[in-house]
Amino acid sequence: MNATTLQKLVIASGNQGKLKEIQQLLQTSNIEVLLQSQFNIAEAEEPHCTFIENALAKARHASLHTGLPALADDSGICVDALQGLPGVHSARYACALSSDTKSDAANNEKLLQTLQQHTDRNAHYYCVMVLVKYAEDPQPIIAEGIWQGEILTAARGTGGFGYDPLFLDVALGKTGAELPIEIKNHISHRGQALQQLLQKIKVLS
């Protein structure tokens, strides 16, 4: 399988922010991108404590229900002072119950409150992407990306999603929410992971 023979895939995610970024990154690859929601597939459970296990579970789930190659992303923000939290719980960090509605605003507020007594604001976004050719694929293609930064004490910017308004790229002096999507996709954890994934597909062809 290579980037030219891979003509169609389904993205195993219901997160609109992720979908927008992945679609933007794949638009020059000539791969037809379908969304999991187009098949009325419920989102897979993510019970694991590592990003890679959750991504693999999501990819296999989507491929099983569509019969198509599936691309899954699992990502989150890891804060040094919190021993890597929110980590795999990033999307539901502020949820007390599994039935609670996910909210970026609530997650950001909880992170700010949790870090009030900490001077170490170092953090990084992490992303792992998994591509399976079919549900029981024994050789999934795996790629990862890391975006280093710091957590601010107040939100800045109106773009992006997740923790982007709090996440400062120190070198650029801008938050993820202040960066144009073209620049963000070039340097972000998700952009790094997808570019690495596409290179791996080419090497394995």
Active site residues: 74
Check: CB of residue 54 under 8 Å from CB of residue 48: yes
Q: Where are the beta strands (DSSP E) in the chain?
A: 8-11, 32-35, 70-79, 122-132, 141-151, 167-169, 174-175
**Cα separations (Å) of 76 from 7, 51, 65, 95, 193?**
29, 8, 26, 15, 13
Check: CB of residue 31 under 8 Å from CB of residue 103: no
Distance of CA 160 to the CA centre of its chain: 12
Check: CB of residue 165 under 8 Å from CB of residue 176: yes
**In 3-state terms, the chain is what percent helix, strand and coil (to 5)?**
35, 20, 40
CA distance 122 to 79: 6
